[in-house]
Structures are given as C-alpha cells and as structure tokens.
Amino acid sequence: MKNFSHGDLVIPRLGFGTWKLKGDDAIDAVKIALDTGYRHIDTAAIYENEKEVGLALKEGGVAREDIFLTTKIWNDDIERSRIADAADRSLDHLGTDYVDLLLLHWPMTSRPIADQVQELAEVKKAGKARAIGISNYNASQLTEALDACPDLACLQAEYHPELDQDPILNVVRNADMLFTAYSPLGRGDSLKHQVVKDIAEAHGKAPGQVVLRWMIQQPNVAAIPKATSREHIEENFDIFDFELTDEEMKKIFALVEPDGRIIDPDWAPQWDTGVAA
C-alpha cells in the first residue's frame, strides 16, 4: 500500500509537491516533510525552487538513497533538443548526481513524441536518472511514447475526485506504470464536498486525508499533495491507519464533474474525454 514497485524502483505512493513554494518557505516545508516521514519529493525546473529543495535534502538528515526525488524538464528545453543540458542544470541546482525520476513536463507538438522520449532515455542511459517518465500527455500521446520507449515508468497528470482520468489510467495500468496524481486535493476544492466531510467524520479523519486515501487505494496511483504549514504537511501524511470501504470509494468517484479540470494552459494537448464529459 505504501509503495509502488516498478522493476527495481520502489516509489512511495504519497509524495510531497513543491509547486509555488519558494525561498525559505520551500526549504522549511521540505524539511518538515522529511521530518514527518515523506520520502518522495516532487519539483521541476520551472518551479524555480530546485536549489532550495536540494538544500533542504542536504540539511534534512535523510540519506540520499532513501529519498525518491523527481524533477521535470521545461518546455523550451524539450522543444530545442536540450534535454540533457537541462537535466545537468537541474542536477547542479539540486546538488545531486542523479534524480530518481526525470519527467518531460508537457508534450511539445513541434517535435515527434518519439524523439522527445528517446532524447530523455539518453539521460537515463548516462546514469543521471534512475527512471524516466512524462507529464500531461493524453492517452494517444502516451501510447505513442510507450511505442518509442517502453521503459517509461511514470505518467504524472492532474487527478482529483472532480476529474475523470479513466482513459489514460487504463493505458498506464496496462503498461504497469505509475500514475502520479498532481493537484490531488483539487488545490483545496476537493475538501469542500459534504460527502467527503461525512466520510471523514465517520473515520475520525480530516477531508484531505479521505481524498488522499481514496487516491492511493486505487491501483497504480500515487499522490503528491503540496502544503505549506506543518499542520497540513503532517495531516496529509497520516493516511495509513484507516481504509475506505468500496461504498465510500464509489461515493467519491461519483463527485466527478464534466468540467473538473483545473490546469489547462494554452500549450496543453487535446485532453481525453472521460465518461463524465
């Protein structure tokens, strides 16, 4: 339950997201997360906090090999075939020789998908990433990427109770990859449903804990909630001492909305249409 295995990789199914955490807030939050027990940390070049994340990892007192560290290559470096250089820059900022998972942040339409993932695979071959994956691909792009590079271990994409991700979850599960859910709390909005509050009360838990538990009880799914305060960071990690029933899982699945997506920038691909749309 706590980990997902892929080959010789062991990936904690609850990680810590760092988007929007900057400067001392980023250092403090990552240190609190390590102190709480998180061993999976998610950052990206575009978050402009890799140096702070790296510093927190150095000062956090946890051995590097016990941490699962993910970063992501930003779009212009993917478009201009600079993935290897961008990876070196990230490693330099993070103060480490390797990341555990290196993702392409978004699919770029200006280059064939096969070229993008094969260029990424070279970074793994060079020993600078233990595993590779992609983020924000749709189901057909993921299929194309897997055809060119069956070695992809992870797809990271938006997922929370309001958003149906079944089409791409099916592709991920068939390939025995990990689906890492970003914005797993719906950026806070998923905690407001009465159904979630009622289930939380029945278990003596908080609404956020119910949503995160719902996530990790699904096959091949991990979640990377972001939080700033110690209270939220600790609360989000305390989800391994209770279990949702099938009935409760279904009630949360029923919260899906046709327009439940939150993150949809101009450069996003044509998203898959879920059953709710």
Ligand X SMILES: NC(=O)c1ccc[n+]([C@@H]2O[C@H](COP(=O)([O-])OP(=O)(O)OC[C@H]3O[C@@H](n4cnc5c(N)ncnc54)[C@H](OP(=O)(O)O)[C@@H]3O)[C@@H](O)[C@H]2O)c1
Question: Could you say whether residue 232 binds ligand X (CB under 6 A)?
Answer: yes
Enumerate the H helices of 37-174 as residue ranges. Answer: 50-59, 75-79, 83-94, 113-125, 139-148, 166-174
The per-residue DSSP string of 73-89 comes to E-HHHHHTT-HHHHHHH
Binding pattern to ligand X, positions 21-60, x when CB under 6 A? ---------------------x------------------
The answer to whether 175 touches 169, Cβ cutoff 8 Å, is no
For ligand X, which is the closer residue by CB, 96 or 136?
136
Q: Hey, what long-range contacts does 17-20 have (CB within 8 A, 24 or more apart)?
A: 17/42, 17/182, 17/224, 17/225, 17/226, 18/42, 18/43, 18/47, 18/49, 18/53, 18/226, 19/44, 19/47, 19/226, 20/47, 20/226
Question: Could you say whether residue 138 binds ligand X (CB under 6 A)?
Answer: no
Strands 3-6 and 9-12: antiparallel
What is the smallest separation between the CB atom of 218 and ligand X, expressed in angstroms? 16
What is the smallest separation between the CB atom of 58 and ligand X, expressed in angstroms? 20
For ligand X, which is the closer residue by CB, 125 or 188?
188
State the CB neighbour count (10 A cutoff) for residue 269: 15
Q: Segment near ligand X (CB under 6 A), from 77-85, 108-116, 119-127, 181-189?
A: 181-189
Strand ranges of the sheet holding 68-73, from the earlier edge strand across to the other edge: 16-17, 40-42, 68-73, 99-104, 129-135, 154-158, 178-182, 221-223
What is the smallest separation between the CB atom of 160 and ligand X, expressed in angstroms? 6
For ligand X, which is the closer residue by CB, 42 or 119?
42
232 is in an annotated binding site: no
State the CB neighbour count (10 A cutoff) for residue 189: 14
Number of chain residues interacting with ligand X (CB under 6 A): 27
For ligand X, which is the closer residue by CB, 139 or 191?
191
What is the smallest separation between the CB atom of 191 and ligand X, expressed in angstroms? 6
Question: Could you say whether residue 165 binds ligand X (CB under 6 A)?
Answer: no
Question: Could you say whether residue 17 binds ligand X (CB under 6 A)?
Answer: yes
Asked if 47 is an active-site residue, the reply is yes
What is the smallest separation between the CB atom of 232 and ligand X, expressed in angstroms? 4
State the CB neighbour count (10 A cutoff) for residue 112: 12
By CB under 6 A, name the one of 49, 96, 135, 141 that touches ligand X: 135
Q: Which residues bind ligand X (CB under 6 A)?
A: 17-19, 42, 105, 135-136, 156, 182-188, 191, 208, 224-229, 232, 235-236, 263
Which residues does the annotation place in the binding site for substrate? 105
Known catalytic residues are 47
